[in-house]
Amino acid sequence: VSGVEGADPPIWRLLDTGPVTAAQNMALDEVLLQARDRDRCPTTLRFLEFSPHCVLVGLHQAIGLEVEEAYCREHGIDVNRRLTGGGAIYLDEGQLGWEVIATRADFPGVVGLEGMFARVGECVVVGLRRLGVEARFRPKNDIEVDGRKLSGTGGTERTHALVYHGTLLTDFDVDTMLQCLRLPISKLDDKQVQGFRQRVTCLRELLGATPPMPVLKRALVDGFAEALGVELVPGPLTTDEQAALAERTPYYASQGWVRGGSHAHAQASALGTVDQKTPGGLLRVAMQVDPARDVVKAAYISGDFFVLPARAILDLEAWLRHTSSRPADLRRRVASFFAANDVSLPGVTVDQLADVVCAAAAAAADRPGPGADAADVSPALPVADVSPALPVADAQPAADRGTA
Amino acid sequence: VNGWTVPEELRYDVNDYWVRVGGGADLADGGAAAAGLGGTGVLGGDSPGEGSVVTIGLTPYGQDCIGDLLYLDPPVVGSLLVRGAECGSLESGKWAGMLRAPLGGVVHRVNPLLAELLRVVNDDPFGAGWLLEVRLGPTGAAEFATLLTPAEYRASITYRECAT
């Protein structure tokens, strides 16, 4: 798009509906995808805000396993289902979602899904830099600051069109999130919640205050414009889009969609935790595994060992997520991470770490699902505080992007 | 191509599906069909005709691009497939993508293993991890002739790897 001297930049629509319900936002995703697929709307950058606050599960998740429905009902929290994959998220009214509705042709020179993820992720990174936040895109799906996740991303496609979106954490209400999502890491004490917090960050924490929404939106718009060389022009929904939105919203508010029908799969996911003493200190690994599919859903590595750079552990957790949970594959994955990154782990060998990762995955696979029950939380709680033994200010970034 | 397996007896499409003339391999048959030795259809890359059964799967390169599969919703038996159009869905990581039919026809059989052992797609992509058997329709035979040869598919991988 960019780099053509003198050529007019492509024009994208900037669509900002303001806060709407989860059902309206999900319906609008479908409407825009269909319209772009049929070339009946321009390529669009859209902002998403949710009112009331809501929980969104991933396309294939079973709500009963992921959401504390009674709590959500009592607190006026909408529950809905995304068109995209991934895990359940809680969005309060202060969060800002962004998404691109485009065709692959809108990203010339970009090859493959990962290339597109990185390209769009770079737009957000450039926008955040305008706010003074030094973020990076971490393959495959995260935008992070010093290894801590600031925005998750995901997407889906139709024949010609795709949507790729993410949510910027402006603030992080971890207490409400733990109440409304059925996470295996629930039932944690304050220290452990603090450990969980260290894996994510938010703009309020990074900047000292939450930027006003117009400032945040402006920064993202400028980031997309700069990174892609496009011009973003505010525009409304077309008449056809408005009609389609009105027609489709009841479906996205219906139990048929929210419950998922044939989309919803019972994702039994248990948590296994293993502690191992090493010459370098205690190594604690908790793995959340879907044993029916042999897939790692999440990894939490903590303990009192020393690691440089500190972010390497968070990057390794991301590197293991959504990959095979089988021992041979996990060993290869762990080894490839350390082969590609300059990480110092005194007193702990890569093989020892791989052993504990495999043991925790095996422990998770042996546990009965679903993993959301309190019984699945191991007595050795999974999300211990990583920080005390880790260097707080680390000036040695992992080689390359921190992941292989 | 950089270690990617591209069997000579298969045909390919740009969305990283492989197509083989004949039925899919079952775990119990010892992979005979996967080797092109099954009892149905025509061997190897010979052109099939209308009514022939072909087997479709995802190439290892394509799987690497997508990532480990978490969910796969294949089409039901009897579904009509249109080349390039959606015929099912898959999820890997946070991407919910489409299965795109490499050929037109009617779904003859869905690999029964997919429902219970999805990882077989990653483990044995050219054998027990096949996705669909498709009975070719009137356009399917002509479409088969336009699929990529192994050499063309290798070139496609090279291009994409260089671009990234």
Q: How far apart are CA A10 and CA A1, in angstroms?
A: 7
Regions in chain A scoring below 50 on pLDDT? 1-3, 187, 369-404
CB A245 within 8 Å of CB A31: yes
Does the beta-carbon distance from B91 to A58 stay under 8 Å? yes
**CB neighbour list of residue B51: distance below 8 Å, 6 or more residues apart:** B135, B136
* ipTM score of complex: 0.76
| C-alpha span between A133 and A203 (Å, rounded) | 8
Q: For residue A124, what are its two tokens?
A: 């957000």
| CB pair distance less than 8 Å for B65 and A114 | yes
Residues of B in contact with A111 (CB under 8 A): 159-160, 163-164
Total Cβ atoms within 10 A of residue A347: 12
Which segments of chain B have a pLDDT < 70?
A: 1-2, 25-46, 163-164
Other Cβ atoms within 10 Å of A351 Cβ, number: 11
**Option in A83, A113, A159 nearest B86 (CB):** A159
Interface residues of B toward A, Cβ cutoff 8 Å, are 65-71, 73, 84-86, 91-98, 100, 118-119, 122, 159-160, 163-164
Closest residue to B96, CB basis, from A83, A112, A323: A83
- Residue identified by tokens 């003339």 is B21
Selected residue of A61, A110, A111, A151 to mutate for chain B interface (largest B Cβ count, 10 A)? A111
Contacts of residue A83 in chain B, CB cutoff 8 Å? 96
DSSP secondary structure letter of residue A141: T
Q: Among partner residues A157, A263, A293, which is closest to B119 by beta-carbon distance?
A: A293
* Residue A212 φ then ψ, to 5°: -55, 145
CB spacing of A85 vs B96 below 8 angstroms: yes
Element (H, E) at B92: strand B86-92
Q: Would strands A231-234 and A161-168 be described as parallel, antiparallel, or unpaired?
A: unpaired
DSSP label at B70?
-
Indicate the SS3 state at residue A57. Answer: strand
**Inter-chain touch B94–A158, beta carbons under 8 Å:** no
Chain B residues with CB under 8 Å of A84 CB are: 94-96
Q: Closest residue of B to A139, CA-based?
A: B93
Token pair belonging to A45: 């950058």
Angle subtended at Cα A328 by Cα A325 and Cα A329, rounded to the nearest 5 degrees: 50
Rounded to an integer, what distance in angstroms lies between the CA atom of residue B158 and that of residue B56? 22
Is the Cβ–Cβ distance between B67 and A324 less than 8 Å? no
Q: How many CB atoms lie within 10 A of CB B106?
A: 18
Beta carbons of A85 and B94 less than 8 Å apart: yes
Neighbour count for residue B135 (Cβ, 10 Å) = 17
- Out of B95, B96, B164, name the one closest to residue A115 (CB): B164
B132-136 vs B105-110, strand pairing mode: antiparallel
What the block records as the tokens of A354 is 């791989």
